[in-house]
Amino acid sequence: MASSSDLREKLRKKRRALQHSLQVKDDVDADTQALVPTQKEAGQTHIEVLTAGEEEPGDALRRNLKAQRQSRRRKLEQAPAGDASVMEAHYKTMVEVTAVQQISQKDEKAEELAVISSPTHSQRGDLPPRSRATPTPSSSHSESSTMRQRMRDKLRAARSKAESLLQQEASLEVPGSRLQSLRDRQPLTRFDQETDPDLKAGGDVNPSPLNPRVKFREAVRRVRMESKPETGLPTAEEAYNFFTFNFDPEHDKEAEKIQKGRTRREAEYEEGEEEEGEEEEGEEEEITEVDREPDGEDAERDDSAPLVREEEELFIVDKSAHDFLVVKRAEYMGYQQRLQSENDVLFTPSFLSVPASSKVPENMQPRYLEEEGLYVGERPPISLTNQNILENRILKQEQGRKWFGDDGRIMALPDPIKESSTRPPLFHMEDDVDPALQAIFRKALKSKHASQYIAVGGEMNGDYQLDVDVSGLIFSHHALFSREHVLGARLAQLYDQQLSRQHRNLTEHLNTKLNGLRNAVRNMLEMHAGHGLTPIMQQRICEYKQELRNTRRLRDAEQDKDRSLLKSIIKVWKEIKALRDFQRFTNTPYKLYLRREDVERASDERRYEAEIQAEVDELQGEMEEDYQRKLTEYKRQQEEWKTWRRRQKAKKKKTKKKKTQSQDDADEDDDEDDLSDGVAELGPSKPDPPEEPDMEGVEEQVREKASRIRRKPGEPILVPELTASGPITSNEQCPRGEVARREDVTKRSLFTKVLYNDKEVSRTDNRSLNSDFRVHFGQIFNLKIVNWPESIKLQVFEVLGSSTTLLADVFVPVPDSSILTGSALSEELEFSSNLRVMFDHEAVGSDVPFSFEADGSNRQTLLTSGKLSCCVSWAVGEDNIPLAPPTTLPKAMYSGLKQLDAIACIGASSLNDMKKLGEWATESRLDPNDPNNSAIMQLLKVASSGVVTAPEYFRLEQLQEEFNFVKEENLEQSRRFRLLRLRNQEVADFRNYKFVPALEREVTDKVFQEYERRLREGVIVDTKDHLDAHRALVAKYLQKIRESIFNRFLVAKHNFILSDLVQEEEVPTIGILGLNLFKLAEPKRPLKPRRKERKKVTAQNLSDGDIRLLLNVIRAYNIPVRKPYANKPSVASKSSRSFTETFTAGQPSQRAIQGSDWILNQVQVRPFVEVSFQRTVLQTTTADGPNPCWNEDLQLPFSAPNGDYSTASLQSVKDEVFINIFDEFYYELGGEGEDRGREVHTRLEKHWLGSVKIPFSTIYFQSRIDGTFKVDTPQVLLGYSKERSLSSDGGYDTMRSLNEGAFITLFITIEPQLVPGEPIREKFESQESERLLQVSEAFERDAATRYPDRPCLTTVIDINGKTVFITRYIRPLKPPQELLDAFPNNPQEATELIARYVSLIPSLPDSVSFTGVCDLWSTCDQFLALLAGDEEEHAVLLCNYFLSLGMKAWLIIGTAIPEGPTAYVLTFEQNRYLIWNPSSGQCYGQYDTFCPLQTVGCLVSADNVWFNTQVYTSPPRICFDTTKAKLWKPFFSRAIPNPGLSSVQPEELAYRRTDQAAAAALQDRMEKILKDKIMEWRPRHPTRWNRYCTSTLRQFLPKLELSGGRDVADEHRLELQTLLGDYRISGFPLHLPFSEVRPIVEAVYSTGVHNVETSNVEFALAVRLKCR
Amino acid sequence: MATNTPSVFLLMINGQIEGANFPEYDELYCKYCFVYGHDWAPTSGLEEGISQITSKGRNSPHTLVWNFPLEITFKSTNPFGWPQIVVSVYGPDTFGNDVVRGYGATHIPITPGQHTRTIPMFVPESTSRLQKFTSWLLGRRPEFTDPKVVALGEGREVTRVRSQGYVSLSFNIVSKDMKRLGYDTTPTETAQTSSHTHAAGIGPGDQPYSL
C-alpha cells in the first residue's frame, strides 16, 4: 500500500478542514440539526449497552466508542485497497464523481458526460417525498426541507464547479474524495437509520426499492420520538438498532490493541470522540466542500491520519479483561446498503455507446483511416450492444484506452472468415475406395405401405389416383316441385327416354336383322331348291326361323314401346298446357315441339304392305309348319290308339269266349270286363285332329297389330323436341303460394360429400338450388389412394339455413382399371330419398299425396329423387400411365403371376361358380371373336381344360416351407426334438425333465419306453401292480379321468391373477384397524392363548425343507389300559347284545363293576404318540394313565414329490399322516450271568394301541385341523382292555356309551401356511334347464353372501363333467339282499350293517385324484363299479339305502373334522335324529359332543334342498325340522316348484358276486406279501412265524367279521391264551377296506409291530379277505 | 471325457454388478439370482448373492456403486432357457423400512467377450391409491412373490409396474464347446481371422461380405 500514507495525509487534511468549517458554520441550522439526532443516538447507544452488558457503564461506553472508532479507522485504512465494504448511500454520488474524475484524467472531453449523468441520477430520486419522510425529530419540517434545498443547490453548484476544477487538478483529488466518502461510512453504520435518509436526501442518488419501507419505519419512529422524547429508556428504535447493528467482529483485534493505552486517556478520549462525532455529522456538507475547497481538505487530512496512528501505538500499553470482550451491536446490513456495496464491488458495464472522445487520447480527434484512403478490412460483425458493453468494460480498466484505435473504435482485425472455402476439396480416388463401400446416391424413396393395402404386382409401383368428377345433379322430383314441375320432370324424363331410344334405334336395328334373316332363309331355300336339304341345312333353317320369330317379337315390342312413349309424351305435354292454363302462370320453361316429317305416301304404303305381307307369310309358314307337326303327332297318336284299340277288341273277344265256356264265372267275367273297360279308359284317349290354321285370320291379326303399334302408312313421322326456352312467369304475377315456394327454393342449397371406403375425403361447394332443380357442381376430386377401393359413395346434402339434411347416398361403382380419366363417360346415377317433407305453399312436397285434379282425385305420391351425374375414373399419369392399381389391369391378366387365379384374371372376383359362368357363356352365345369377350373365353377355356384351377385353400404363411430347415419327417424322427416337444407340452412324464441331451444319439430310446408303453397300453389292463383285475381296471379308469382333468387344469394354471405375482398388503379396513387397536389393550400373555391367523404363502418359491408339518398333540382320552394276565376270564356272554343296547347303554353298570374289580390291581398304561409322515417318525414323551396330556409340538418336514411345490403338485400329494398311540412297555430282563440279581435290564417295548390317519391333502385344504378325533383302535387289543368311564352316572351314560373308544385332541397345520389352489371356475355344460341353473346359482350366491361359512350345494359335477342338480342323486336303492337277510327281524342291526357295508367301500378323496379340485359326484352304480369315491359318494349311497328301507333320510352338506366340507347322512327314527358318518359307518346322536360334523350347511332330499338359515350351525344346536320355513330355506318353493327332476341313479343296483376263489387267492397273496414285508422291515433280526398261532388267528378272523368286531375281545384273548399257553401276547386285528396293497402295507408298518426286538419273539399273521 | 464330441457346453460368466442409478434413493443394496431353463445347471460359482449397502458418493451424486462380483459357470445341453440374471434392488424408505426399489432382468450375453448391460428397473404398482398410501405409510410396498417373475413372460399381464432407475452390469463371457455342438454365437469369428491376416495392409474396410 504505497498510497496509504499519503491517503492518510489527505484524510487528515480533510478532517481538519471539516473541523474548521464546522467552527465557521456553527450557527448554521442545518449542521446543528444534523448533529442533534446523532448525539442523541450516541446516548441511546450508551443506555443500550448498559442494559445489555450489565457491566460498568463507563467502561462499556468507553469500549463501545472505542470499538466504533477503531472499526472506522480500520475501514479507512482498508478503503484505498478497495476491499472495504461500502454501506452508505452517500457513496453513490462519489462513484459518479470519481467516474467523472477518472475520465477527466484521461480526457477533458468526458466532462460533459459526467455533468449530464450525475444530475440525472440525483434527480431520479423523488425529492419531495423523501424530504417529507426524513426524520428530523428535533427540528421542524420546513427547516429540514430548506436545508435540503440548500444542500441540493450546493451540490449542484459543486458539481458544475467540479467540472471546471477537474480540468486543472485531476489525479490527486480522486482518491481523496473517495476516501472521504469511505470515512463517512462508519458513522452511517452506527446511526444507520437516522443518518441514512438524511444522506440520501443530501446525496439523492439512491435508486431505492426499499424507500417505502424506510419511510414507514421512519414514520413510526418519528411518532414514537414525539410521544416520549428522551425518556432515557431504550425505545423500539433502539431495540431495533440493537439487533440490527453491525457488530463488526473484525474490529476486535484492533480494539485490543487500542485498549492498551486506553485507561489513561479515557476522559480525554471521550471528548475527542464527541468531537469526531460532530465531525461526522458534518459530512453531509463535506461533499460540497470537498469540491469547493480541495486544497484545504488535503492539508487537514494529513493531520488526522497520523493522529490515528499515534493512538494505535498508545493503546498498546495496558489492557483489562473487559477490553478483550467487546460487546457490540449486531451488524446489520440493510438491503439497500448491500445493494450499494454490491454496486461498489460489482461493475455492470452500461450498454450505452461510449462517446468517442473518451476512447481516443486526449486532445485528439478520431482519425478515420478509411477517409484517408487507406484500406481497412471489414470488421467482423458484432452487435452494437455487445460492442458497447465491451468498450465500457475496457474503459473501466487501467490503460483501457490502448484497446482503441485511432478512430475511436476497438481495434479489430478484419473479418477472419473467408468468403470462399479454403479447405482443399476431397478428391476421391476411385481405385482407393472399396467398391463395396462406395456410396451411391439414390433419390429418397417414399416408403410404400402398399403391399398391405393394394397388392402390388408387376412393375407398377406408382401412386394410384382416382378422379371423381361430380358434375351435377338433376332432381326428378323434389319436395319443392310445384305441380307443373312434376309434370315437367315427367315430360323431361319421357323425352330423355325417347332420345335415348332414338339414339339406340333398336327398332331399326331389329328390322335390319329381321330382313337379313329373311334373306338368309330365302337364299338358303333358293340355293337348295332343287335338291333335298341336308339335315344340317334343315337344322340351320330351323334355327333361323326360330331366330326370326324371336326377333320379330322383339321388334314388335320395341315398336310398341316407341309408339306408347310418343303417346305419353304428348299426353303429358297436354297436361302441362292444361295446368298452365288453369293456374295462369308458367313455372317451367319446357316447350314441346312436334316435328312432322312428311313421307311419300305411295312408297310408304308399299313398304308397309310388303312388311305385312312378309310377316303374314312367315306366320302362315310357321302355322303351316306347326300344323304339320301337330298333324304328324296326331297321326302317330291315332296310330297308337288304333293298335291299342285293336288289342282291346281282341281281348274282349277272348273274354267272350271264356264267357261261353263257363257260365259259373259269369260274375267274375263281368268284373273282368269292367276291369278291362277301366283299363281301356286309362289307355290313350282318341286324339283330336288338329285344327286347320286360320290363314285369313292371320292377316287380320297382323294388320290389327300393325295399326296398333306402327305408324299408319302415309302418316307423317312425329319427332318430339323438347326445349327449355319458354318464358317463366315472373314472381309478381304469381299467386302468393307460388311466390313462397320460389322463395323457399332460393333458400336451399346443395352440396355433395365424397366418401371413399366410407371415409369422407372431400366435399363440393355449396350450390344453391335453381328454379329448374338442377345443380351444377362441376368439381373434380383427385383421390390419391392407398387402400384398395371398396366403395365410393357420394352423399347429397341439402342445406337450409344452418341445418343440413342428408338427402341420399349415391354409390358409385369402383371403376374398372381400364376406365381412365380422359375417356370415361359421365354416368347418371339415380338416387332417391324417402324423407317426408310437407309444405304449406304450392310445393307438392315429398312422400305426400297430391293430386292434379281439382277435385283431389287420382292422388299420387312422389318421393324426392334425382340423378347425380358423376364420373369416377382412374387418373392418367404423366407418361400416360394409368394410375390404376395393377390387379385389375387387363394386361396383367396374362402375366405369370395372375395365371394362378383364373378368376382374378378377369377381375371378376365375385364370380365364383365356374359352371354357371360357362353355362351363361354358352347360353348367351358370346361371340368368341369379340375382343370384349376374350377374357371370359380365355377363362372358360382354362377352366374347362382344368389345367389351372382356382386355389381352393387359403394359406397364411406361404413361405413357411422355405423356413423349414429340416423336413417334417426328420423332425418327427428326431428323438431329441420329440423329447423337447413333449417337455414343452408338459406331458406328465417329461414335465420337469432336466438336461435334454445335446446330441441326438445321446437320447436313448429308454426315455420314451415308459411313455410309449403307457400310450400303447392305455386300454390294456396290467395286473402286475394290482392284486385284483377289477381294481386295476378302476385304477386305469381313474387315471384317465385324472389325466383329462389335469389337462384342463393345465390350461387354467397358466392364467395368473395379480396375487400370484405381486405380494401386496391388504388395505386395512376399519374393522381390522379397530381390532388392532383392541389388541393393544390385550394382555401380552393371555391365560388362554389363541391361535393366530398366519400369512399365506403361495406355493411358488418354496423348496425342500421350507415346509413343515406342525403337529400339536394335546391330550387323549380313554386309552385302553393294560390288562393283567388273568387266567380266569370274567366273561359275560356278549353275543346277544342288541342294537338298542348300544344306544341305551345297557352295560355301563356291569362294566363299571367289572372295571372296579381290576382297577385296584390295574397296571398303568404309559401311552405316547408317534407321528409318522413320509417315513419321518417323531414321538412325544411318555405320559401316564389312560387320559394322558402331552401338549407337545412336533415338526415334521415335508417334501413334495419331485421337488415340485406348485399348487397342482401339492394337491396331488397322497401321503397320510399317521398318528399312532403306543404303550411304552417296560419289560424287565434279568441280568445276565453273574450280574443276575444285581442288575436289572429293562427292555422297552411299544405296543400299538390305535391310530388316527389324516391325509395330507386334507391338511392342505383345511390349512389347519383342530379338534378331537376318535382313535381308530382295533376291536381286539390283546393284552389291553378299554377303560370304561368309571365315573359314569345317569345323565351322561347315553353319551359316554356312544363314545366308547379312545379320543385324541390334535392340532395340525402346515408351516408356512400354503394357499390351496383356487378351484377352477369353469362353466360346465349341463342338461339342466337354463332357468334351474340360474335359480340355483342365485340360491348358492345368496347363501354364500349371507352365510359365507356354510357350504351350500345345489348343483354338482358328475363324472362326465356335466352339471347335475343335486337332488337327482337321491333315490331309494336297494342294498344287497344278503345284508337285509342278515337281520330280517332287526331293522336297527340291518341299518348298522348297511352303514358298515358302505363304509367298507374304499375312500379316495377327489382332490387327490382330481387335482383341479373339481368335486366329482359319481352315481351309485359308478361308485360301486369304481369301488372308490369320497364322502359324497358314500353318503349318497348310504342315504339311498336308508331310503329304500323306508327310513327318513337326508343328505347333510356340511363341514366336519378332519374332512372339511363333506357330506353326512341324517336319519330320523324313533323321534330322534341320527347323524351317520358314511365313510366310517359310525352313527351319532344329534346331541353327541364327539360328532365330527361341525357345520350343517344344507339338507338334501330326493325332491328338495334346504339351506340352513338358523343362527347356529352345529348339529346339537339346530333344529332339523325342515318344514319350518324360518329355519330352513327351501330351494323349491311355491315360487319355483319342483319340475319333477328325474334321478340320475339307476333303477336298481346290480351286485356282482365276487369270485370267491379269486378272493381266496388274493388273500393268500396278501398274507405272503405282508409277511415278506415284515421280514424286510426287520433286517437285523430273524423273524419267526408261529404257524399255530397263525392258524388260530385265521379261525378267529371270520368270527370277528361276523360279530362286526364287537365284544369278542375277551373270548378272543381267552381262546388264544388257551392255545398258546405261556406266551405273552400283544397284537390286534386290523380292519381295512381293500383297494390296493400299498395302503395296507403302510398301515401295518405304521403299527410298528415289526419293531419288537425281543430275541425270541415269534410272529403270527393272518389275512382274511371278506368279499361281497 | 469325450474330447472330440462333447455332450455339454459350458458358459462362464465373470462380471460385476457395477452400480446403479436411482436418482431419488440412497443406501441401496441389491440381490441377484439366475433364472435358467431345464437344460441348464450351474457347475460352480454362486447362483444368488446379496450385495453390501451403498450410499451415494459426494462426487457422484447420482451413481451408487456396488462393484459386486458375479462369477458362475453353467453347463448346458441346449441354448433354450439361456440364463438370465435377475437383479432386485432394495433400500430404506423415508421411514426406514426396507422396501424394494426395482426389479430387472437381462439375458446373459450370448457372445463371448466383454459386455456391459444397463437394465432399467421397475417395481410393481399398488392396485389402488389407497393401497399405495397405506403401503407407503406402512413401508410394505407391493413386491413380486418371486423376483424370478421378472425373467418370465407368463402372467405378467396382470401386473402394473413403474419404472425406476437403472442398474449397470458388466459381463465377461467365456464359452466352451458351443461351436462344437453347433451353436455358433460368434458370427464374425471367421471374418475376424481372415481380416487378421490382412489387417496390416488393408484395414477393416475389406471384410468379405459374408452371409
CA-to-CA dists, residue A322 to A58, A255, A256, A1273, angstroms: 12, 11, 10, 104
Nearest beta carbon to residue A1057 from set B128, B134, B158: B158
Q: What angle do CA A65, A70, A72 make, to 5 degrees?
A: 100
Contacts of A983 in chain B (CB under 8 A): 38
Highest mean pLDDT of the ranges A48-52, A141-145, A180-184, A1528-1532: A1528-1532
Strand pairing of A859-862 and B98-107? unpaired
Nearest beta carbon to residue B135 from set A996, A1061, A1065: A1065
Contacts of A1442 (CB under 8 A, 6+ apart): A1391, A1394, A1449, A1465, A1467
pLDDT at A684: 58
Highest mean pLDDT of the ranges A292-306, A525-539, A1317-1331: A525-539
Is residue A224 within 8 Å of A235, Cβ to Cβ? yes
d(CA A1002, CA A745): 93
How far apart are the CA of A1315 and the nearest CA of chain B, in angstroms? 13
Does the beta-carbon distance from B142 to A437 stay under 8 Å?
no
Confidence of residue A1046 (pLDDT cuts 50, 70, 90): low
pLDDT at A182: 45
**Segments making up each domain of chain B, as ranges:** 9-206
pLDDT at A1371: 85
A677: left (phi over 0), alpha (psi -120 to 50) or beta: alpha
CA A196 vs. chain centroid, Å, equals 72
Contacts of B5 in chain A (CB under 8 A): 999
pLDDT at B116: 94
Is residue A103 within 8 Å of A167, Cβ to Cβ? no
How far apart are the CA of B22 and the nearest CA of chain A, in angstroms? 22
Does the beta-carbon distance from A999 to B80 stay under 8 Å?
no
d(CA A746, CA A800): 10
Nearest beta carbon to residue B142 from set A1002, A1064, A1100: A1064
Does the beta-carbon distance from B159 to A1061 stay under 8 Å?
yes
Is residue B14 within 8 Å of B171, Cβ to Cβ? yes
CA-to-CA dists, residue A358 to A115, A351, A366, A392, A725, angstroms: 14, 15, 10, 10, 94
Chain A from 954 to 983: CB within 8 A of any B CB: 980, 983
For residue A1637, is pLDDT > 80?
no
d(CA A617, CA A644): 40
Nearest CA among A638, A697, A109 for reference residue A354: A109
A1064 interface with B at CB cutoff 8 Å: yes
d(CA A269, CA B193): 98
**What kind and span of H or E run contains B107?**
strand B98-107
pLDDT at A1589: 78
CA-to-CA dists, residue A1410 to A679, A691, A1031, A1210, A1545, angstroms: 79, 91, 18, 12, 22
Nearest beta carbon to residue B144 from set A980, A1061, A1068: A1061
Residue of B nearest to A998 (CA): B77
d(CA A574, CA A595): 16
Provide the 10 A C-beta neighbour count for residue A212. Answer: 11
Burial class (CB in 10 A: 0-12, 13-18, 19+), A727: exposed
ipTM of the assembly?
0.77
Residue of A nearest to B131 (CA): A1067
Is residue A30 within 8 Å of A151, Cβ to Cβ? yes
Is residue A696 within 8 Å of A583, Cβ to Cβ? no
3-state helix, strand, coil in chain A (%, to 5): 45, 15, 35
pLDDT at A65: 56
- The third-level CATH classification (topology) of the domain covering B9-206 is Immunoglobulin-like (2.60.40)
Lowest mean pLDDT among A992-1006, A1145-1159, A1301-1315, A1640-1654: A1145-1159
Provide the 10 A C-beta neighbour count for residue A1373. Answer: 23
How far apart are the CA of A1054 and the nearest CA of chain B, in angstroms? 7
Is residue A755 within 8 Å of A808, Cβ to Cβ? no
Going by the DSSP 8-state scheme, the letter that residue A1092 receives in this structure is P
pLDDT at A1581: 76
The H-assigned helical ranges of A438-534 are 450-453, 483-504, 506-527
Interface probe with A: pick from B5, B132, B158, most Cβ of A within 10 Å: B158
CA-to-CA dists, residue A1133 to A785, A1146, A1422, A1611, B6, angstroms: 107, 13, 42, 9, 81
Peptide bond into A1312 cis (omega under 30): yes
Does the beta-carbon distance from A998 to B145 stay under 8 Å?
no
Nearest CA among A1195, A1276, A1279 for reference residue A1245: A1279
Q: Which three cell numbers mark A233? A: 429508556
How far apart are the CA of B75 and the nearest CA of chain A, in angstroms? 10
B210 interface with A at CB cutoff 8 Å: no
A437 interface with B at CB cutoff 8 Å: yes
d(CA A1628, CA A1649): 10
Indicate the SS3 state at residue A627.
helix
Residue B120 main-chain phi, psi, to 5 deg: -70, 140
Q: Which three cell numbers mark A565? A: 312413349
d(CA A706, CA A1574): 124
Q: What average pLDDT score do residues A119-147 get?
A: 44
Q: Which residues pair with A1281 in a beta bridge?
A: A1121
For residue A1342, is pLDDT > 80?
yes
Contacts of A281 (CB under 8 A, 6+ apart): A31, A34, A35, A38, A187
Contacts of A994 in chain B (CB under 8 A): 38-39, 41
Provide the 10 A C-beta neighbour count for residue A745. Answer: 20
d(CA B209, CA A437): 11
B155 interface with A at CB cutoff 8 Å: yes
Contacts of B208 (CB under 8 A, 6+ apart): B191, B194
Per the model's pLDDT, the better-predicted residue between B89 and B211 turns out to be: B89
How far apart are the CA of A1222 and the nearest CA of chain B, in angstroms? 43
Contacts of A981 in chain B (CB under 8 A): none
d(CA A1239, CA A956): 93
pLDDT at A659: 56
B179 interface with A at CB cutoff 8 Å: no
pTM here is: 0.42
For residue A429, is pLDDT > 70?
no
Residue of A nearest to B206 (CA): A434
Contacts of B198 in chain A (CB under 8 A): none
Per the model's pLDDT, the better-predicted residue between B28 and A1217 turns out to be: B28
Q: What average pLDDT score do residues A383-411 get?
A: 81
- Can you spell out the DSSP letters for A666-699? HHHHHHHHHHHHHHHHHSPPPPPPPPPP-HHHHH
Confidence of residue B172 (pLDDT cuts 50, 70, 90): very high
Does the beta-carbon distance from A1067 to B128 stay under 8 Å?
yes
Which residue type is seen at A1492? P
B177 interface with A at CB cutoff 8 Å: no
Residue of B nearest to A1056 (CA): B155
pLDDT tens for A489-524 read 888 888 888 888 888 777 788 888 888 888 887 787
Q: Which three cell numbers mark A1453? A: 352338506
Does the beta-carbon distance from B158 to A1058 stay under 8 Å?
yes
Residue of A nearest to B181 (CA): A998
pLDDT at A1082: 67
Nearest CA among A1200, A1174, A1196 for reference residue A1100: A1200
Q: What would you report as the CA-atom Rg of chain B, rounded to the nearest whole angstrom?
A: 21
pLDDT at A1018: 56
Which residue type is seen at A213? R
Contacts of B128 in chain A (CB under 8 A): 1067
Cα torsion A1377, A1379, A1381, A1384 to 10°: value is -130
How far apart are the CA of B160 and the nearest CA of chain A, in angstroms? 9
B136 interface with A at CB cutoff 8 Å: no
pLDDT at A194: 44
Nearest beta carbon to residue A436 from set B140, B155, B209: B209
Is residue A86 within 8 Å of A333, Cβ to Cβ? no
CA-to-CA dists, residue A581 to A576, A584, A1050, A1523, angstroms: 8, 5, 91, 95
Lowest mean pLDDT among A458-462, A597-601, A807-811, A965-969: A458-462
How far apart are the CA of A1100 and the nearest CA of chain B, in angstroms? 8
CB pairs under 8 A between A and B: 89
Is residue A1220 within 8 Å of A1250, Cβ to Cβ? yes
Q: What angle do CA A1580, A1584, A1585 make, to 5 degrees?
A: 140
d(CA A361, CA A399): 11
For residue A1489, is pLDDT > 60?
yes
d(CA A1547, CA A1524): 32
A1267: left (phi over 0), alpha (psi -120 to 50) or beta: left
Is residue B51 within 8 Å of B17, Cβ to Cβ? yes
Q: What would you report as the CA-atom Rg of chain A, rounded to the nearest whole angstrom?
A: 64
d(CA A87, CA A95): 13
Burial class (CB in 10 A: 0-12, 13-18, 19+), A1622: exposed
CA A1154 vs. chain centroid, Å, equals 76
B110 interface with A at CB cutoff 8 Å: no
A1287 interface with B at CB cutoff 8 Å: no
Does the beta-carbon distance from B127 to A1064 stay under 8 Å?
yes
Q: Which three cell numbers mark A316? A: 498498546
Cα torsion A139, A141, A142, A147 to 10°: value is 70
Nearest CA among A41, A84, A72 for reference residue A304: A72
Does the beta-carbon distance from B38 to A996 stay under 8 Å?
yes
CA A1166 vs. chain centroid, Å, equals 65
